[in-house]
């Protein structure tokens, strides 16, 4: 069996880490008369996890998983998932009267392979931001702690114990940076992916947005402006960065704010978790050198590898069978 693309909606996935500016980018694209960008549908995450339910489910989580798995193994699960997603996206587009839907859900970094299996032809927009700035935003907006006084973060066993002892919401936010960033970095080579740097976006919004729109096959001239007006559609949603509702223009000061918002210890934790090699590969060598002048050191790939292994083990433990 093969996917029937005859009635498929025109779809684009916007991927990037939480706190990397995806709400801003989606909002600017939404102002084009042919582009709809609803706040974080999360559809692909739900479909990829179909059959896995909470352990407290009254009929038995293991039975739900076994039953759905056994049934779906007899058919093509990809076609079933694609049919559901097509129906959902198409109905939303019909309500908006627009041509292209952008699914902006930051944690799609966890299901990139699933996206590719369902929509191999779909264009992607990949937003990259300075990891130090992302960490500063996690700290200031979500109160995510970046350092611990009770653990040797260079010790794999101590690090693993720390990760498993964190509240899930905090561990998940840190895993976004430690595990999500290298996955997104590897995604840059995908043929139908447009890469956007947050720092360039806020410095030259008109130029960047029109470039992206043209890459999606739309007329960039049809975009009236790149403003932060008309954000009413975000007010009724629980998702997306609601700070955008308090602004009237794009503020590029967020690019350097991390330098005063992070302590040297916090900069060190980000450097350890991300790795100097990846920082440089993503184009943030200057930012690392700034942190280095303040006392941050390169502890090497072994430490970064320990971070990734600890968070990977924690992540996989949550996805185990009920």
pLDDT, one tens digit per residue, over 87-114 is 999 999 999 999 999 999 999 999 999 9
Tell me: pLDDT of 232 over 70: no
On whether the CB atoms of residues 294 and 262 are closer than 8 A, the answer is no
Instruction: List, in order, residues 6 or more apart from 251 with CB less than 8 Å away.
Output: 202
- The mean-pLDDT minimum among 31-35, 104-108, 150-154, 214-218 falls in 150-154
The tokens describing 71, both together, are 């049934």
Residues 199-211 as b/e (b if ≥16 CB within 10 A, e otherwise) read bebbeebeebbbe
pLDDT digits (tens, 9 = 90+) for 49-59: 998 888 888 88
Tell me: pLDDT of 240 over 80: no
Q: Can you tell me the mean pLDDT for 25-43?
A: 93
Q: How far apart are CA 98 and CA 213, in angstroms?
A: 14
What are the φ and ψ backbone dihedral angles of 255, each rounded to 5 degrees? -65, -40
The pLDDT of residue 1 = 44
* pLDDT class of 199 with cuts at 50, 70, 90: very high
The pLDDT of residue 276 = 98
pTM to 2 decimal places: 0.89
On whether the CB atoms of residues 295 and 155 are closer than 8 A, the answer is no
CA distances to 177, 200, 218 from 18, rounded to whole Å, are 9, 18, 27
Q: How far apart are CA 303 and CA 100, in angstroms?
A: 43
Mean pLDDT score of the chain? 89
On whether the CB atoms of residues 162 and 151 are closer than 8 A, the answer is yes
* pLDDT class of 321 with cuts at 50, 70, 90: very low
Tell me: pLDDT of 229 over 70: no
Q: How far apart are CA 294 and CA 151, in angstroms?
A: 22
The interaxial angle of helices 131-142 and 168-175, nearest 10 deg, is 160
Q: Can you tell me the mean pLDDT for 127-137?
A: 97
| Residue boundaries of the structural domains of the chain | 10-318
Tell me: pLDDT of 149 over 90: no
Tell me: pLDDT of 245 over 90: no
pLDDT digits (tens, 9 = 90+) for 36-75: 999 899 999 999 999 888 888 888 888 888 888 888 889 8
Residue with token string 């990734």: 308
Tell me: pLDDT of 171 over 60: yes
The pLDDT of residue 231 = 62
Q: 3-class DSSP state for residue 193? A: strand
The pLDDT of residue 322 = 45
pLDDT above 70 covers a percentage of the chain that reads 87
pLDDT digits (tens, 9 = 90+) for 279-317: 999 999 999 999 999 999 999 999 999 999 999 999 988
Which residues, in sequence order, are bridge partners of residue 102? Answer: 12
106 CB-contact burial (10 Å; exposed 0-12 / middle 13-18 / buried 19+): buried
Q: How far apart are CA 71 and CA 11, in angstroms?
A: 29
Helices (DSSP H) in the chain: which residue ranges? 22-30, 43-48, 61-72, 77-96, 112-118, 131-142, 156-165, 168-175, 181-186, 198-203, 205-215, 232-235, 258-261, 264-274, 276-281, 285-293, 301-318
The pLDDT of residue 188 = 95
Q: How far apart are CA 51 and CA 62, in angstroms?
A: 9
For residue 22, how many other CB atoms are within 10 A of its CB?
26
Question: 10-318 sits in which CATH class?
Answer: alpha beta
The pLDDT of residue 318 = 82
């Amino acid at each position: 069996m093969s996917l029937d693309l005859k009635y498929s909606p025109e779809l684009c996935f916007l991927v990037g880490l939480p706190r990397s500016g995806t709400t801003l980018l989606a909002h600017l694209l939404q102002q084009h008369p042919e582009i709809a960008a609803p706040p974080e549908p999360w559809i692909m995450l739900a479909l990829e996890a179909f059959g896995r339910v909470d352990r407290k489910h009254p009929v038995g989580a293991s039975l739900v998983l076994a039953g759905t798995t056994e049934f779906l193994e007899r058919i093509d699960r990809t076609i079933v998932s694609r049919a559901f997603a097509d129906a959902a996206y198409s109905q939303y587009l019909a309500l908006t009267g627009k041509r292209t839907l952008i699914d902006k859900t930051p944690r799609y970094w966890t299901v990139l392979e699933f996206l590719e299996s369902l929509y191999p032809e779909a264009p992607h927009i990949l937003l990259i931001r300075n990891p130090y700035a992302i960490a500063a935003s996690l700290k200031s907006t979500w109160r995510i702690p970046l350092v611990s006084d009770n653990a040797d973060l260079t010790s794999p066993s101590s690090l693993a114990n720390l990760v498993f002892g964190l509240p899930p919401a905090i561990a998940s936010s840190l895993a976004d940076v430690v595990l999500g960033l290298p996955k997104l970095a590897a995604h840059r080579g995908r043929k139908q992916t447009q890469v956007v740097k947050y720092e360039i976006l806020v410095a030259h919004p008109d130029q960047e947005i029109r470039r992206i729109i043209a890459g999606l096959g739309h007329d960039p001239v049809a975009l009236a402006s790149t403003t932060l007006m008309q954000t009413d559609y975000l007010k009724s949603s629980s998702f997306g960065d609601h700070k955008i509702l308090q602004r009237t223009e794009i503020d590029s000061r967020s690019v350097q704010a991390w330098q005063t918002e992070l302590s040297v210890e916090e900069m060190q934790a980000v450097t350890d978790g991300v790795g100097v090699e990846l920082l440089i590969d993503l184009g943030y060598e200057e930012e690392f050198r700034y942190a280095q002048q303040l006392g941050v050191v390169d502890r090497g790939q072994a430490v970064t590898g320990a971070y990734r292994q600890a968070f990977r083990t924690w992540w996989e433990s949550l996805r185990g069978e009920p």
